[in-house]
Structure 1
């Protein structure tokens, strides 16, 4: 039994060594997209791990989309697939308590910085695209699914207009959860008085502030949008509870 545990421990340590090596090589720029890794024999000797452990670690990297293993040719660095990261984060975050509220806080942090950058970096094409998505949002006010999707697309376009690869990548990685949140909020607030006017005006003001390329105003309008949205959702909860009424006493 002890021998088995020792072998498992060595395998885990060996795998971590391979993953750490790969990560450091990418961070240092020694490895780039399209580069071929050293041969299996050379790499196992250089890292001091067995070839079976090395193969398993490389297979894991390939499964995550970081490597392209070509039979008879070797392992090549590939551009990471953000969808894989998104799936991984979704699985992790879905198990956390208060996940929706936590995702909302992450969204606020990302979007508020992104919109400031967008005010100086957005191209005419970016601004035109955001304007088109605002029109789509207005056309789908009465449909929770399509409206939620349009709402998400509008905010995604704002983030993409930041031209920040880091912010865009992080935002895309939680896109599945964000889309669900947008649709759910539309469903929850559909009967709230004034929701249609609010959705139009709030998004219009955010867009106009970006057009004016005023980062302080843009962030302020965006934060107001989030705050008022939360208040409307709270009121919708209260109204729904009131409609159900208090339980009868037995």
Structure 2
């Protein structure tokens, strides 16, 4: 199975990641200690309860260094599995496996950590009708992968790039001289999707009247969110954002907002504890 994502070059990612790890002289430890002909078998397993993400990427690292490696994927990305679950079995050249190990594990640990945190937020709002969104708060260069991981956890991707939609925030409003003028300029520019951040109830009607197609209700408490949703009256989608935590997201979802965006999904998710143990054949 090939790992394919829009605007993501798997071969380039694997080559760049391995180059970063190999340096100028390669894996000098394995080259000195492990015979060139040695063959290993290995099992990748999780020491945490996780939602899996990134297994096909891990496979690509091993295949890059040993095209003949035998790999059996035991679970799939998006699967929710308990601790002590085996994720992958592999068999091949010992040096290649040891050299690829860290890059493979780093990727799966990071992406599975994001997917796992995301699933906890998705579960917390189950049945409310609200949809969980991620944000652009991603590690530079890893956005496509991190947003893939949030999808594996059950979230919906928000803007992937700045050209996906206009998002008018306080700085845009300040320079334009007001929300109505900022939105009008976006409308005049022919932009179809115009998301407008509002932090008070008084900004809602000017934003809608000027042509906003989506309102981002920023840092509003639950009572204010309820009033905002009622004022909007389903004319456009509403999104709650700002300071959302796992212990508060259910109450936010129950206000009737359509979406809730959470930056910490990609910004603060801890890496999953995943290991890889080898034995010589």
**Normalised TM-score (structure 1):** 0.26
Which structure has more strand as a fraction of its residues? Answer: 2
Higher relative CO (Cα under 8 Å, sequence separation at least 6) belongs to: 2
Question: Which structure: greater helix fraction?
Answer: 1
What TM-score do you get using the length of structure 2 for normalisation? 0.24
Question: Rg larger in 1 or in 2?
Answer: 1
